[in-house]
């Protein structure tokens, strides 16, 4: 634990200058946090993760092994980034054409889960508490609570905040089997009823 900064970084991790890293965050083997990143409290980075300059991550973001988070990505609190998933930040990359001024923003809303080996094409909003299946290729915005799978990713259902597929009755109500919270599907959107 780095007493001065109140976070843990493995000796093999590289943390560039001008980063803000929250209390309780853990950065494991061979991870590189590049300059001007803002990382919230209680995040966890597995091994071999790359976080490019200027990335912003909220609190309690879990980043599994071999993940690349490129400039232009913002993740809100409680986001899960599965093993080997990747973001992009340019729509039409070419080795011989410099497009650093064309980085597109990708916003991952609170509580979203992105499965192993998924690819998120830049410029899209990933909705709160949505669930992106392993290996999915996301090419457009994903609604809150949506379950998407495949290449290209298509919506196949809705998920609860606890990660269970929701089954709606004829009136549009569903109950999470674990939390027992109730959700309403109305006009193509899902909302949790408090």
Query: How does pLDDT run across 23-36, given as a tens digit for each residue?
Result: 999 999 999 999 99
Q: Residue 99: is its pLDDT beyond 70?
A: yes
Shared domain for 106 and 188, answered yes or no, is no
Residue 82 placed within a domain:
yes
Nearest to 185 by CA among 194, 177, 175, 174: 174
Shared domain for 171 and 154, answered yes or no, is no
Shared domain for 132 and 74, answered yes or no, is yes
Shared domain for 55 and 145, answered yes or no, is yes
End-to-end CA distance of the chain: 39
Shared domain for 150 and 184, answered yes or no, is no
Q: pLDDT > 70: what percent of the chain?
A: 97
Q: Residue 50: is its pLDDT beyond 60?
A: yes
* Predicted model pTM: 0.95
Residue 2 placed within a domain:
no
Shared domain for 134 and 69, answered yes or no, is yes
Write the DSSP symbol of residue 69.
Answer: E
Shared domain for 106 and 174, answered yes or no, is no
CATH number at residue 86: 2.160.10.10
pLDDT at 194: 77
Query: Which range of residues forms the domain containing residue 189?
Result: 167-194
- What total number of domains does the chain contain? 2
Q: What is the pLDDT of residues 148-185, one digit of tens each?
A: 999 999 999 999 999 999 999 999 999 999 999 999 99
Q: Residue 1: is its pLDDT beyond 50?
A: no
When the pLDDT of each residue in the chain is averaged and rounded to a whole number, the result is 96
Shared domain for 76 and 172, answered yes or no, is no
Buried b (16+ CB within 10 A) or exposed e, 22-59: bebbbbbeebbbbeebebbbbbbbbebbbbbebbbbbb
- Label residue 2 by pLDDT band (50, 70, 90): very low
pLDDT at 4: 64
Residue 97 placed within a domain:
no
Residue 22 placed within a domain:
yes
Shared domain for 123 and 84, answered yes or no, is yes
- 99-128: average pLDDT: 97
């Amino acid at each position: 634990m780095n007493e001065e900064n109140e976070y843990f970084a493995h000796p093999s991790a590289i943390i560039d200058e001008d980063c803000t890293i929250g209390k309780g965050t853990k950065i494991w083997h061979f991870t590189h946090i590049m300059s001007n990143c803002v990382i919230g409290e209680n995040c966890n980075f597995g091994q071999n993760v790359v976080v490019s300059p200027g990335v912003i991550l909220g609190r309690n973001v879990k980043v599994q092994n071999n993940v690349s988070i490129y400039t232009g990505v913002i993740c809100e609190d409680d986001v899960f980034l599965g093993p080997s998933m990747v973001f992009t930040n340019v729509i039409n990359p070419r080795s011989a054409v410099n497009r650093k001024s064309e980085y597109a923003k990708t916003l991952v809303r609170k509580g979203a889960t992105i499965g192993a080996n998924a690819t998120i094409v830049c410029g899209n909003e990933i909705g709160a508490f949505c669930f992106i299946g392993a290996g999915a290729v996301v090419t457009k915005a994903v609604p809150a609570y949506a379950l998407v799978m495949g290449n290209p990713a298509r919506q196949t259902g809705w998920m609860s905040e606890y990660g269970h597929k929701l089954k709606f009755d004829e009136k549009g109500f569903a109950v999470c089997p674990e939390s027992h919270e109730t959700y309403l599907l109305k006009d193509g959107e899902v909302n949790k009823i408090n």
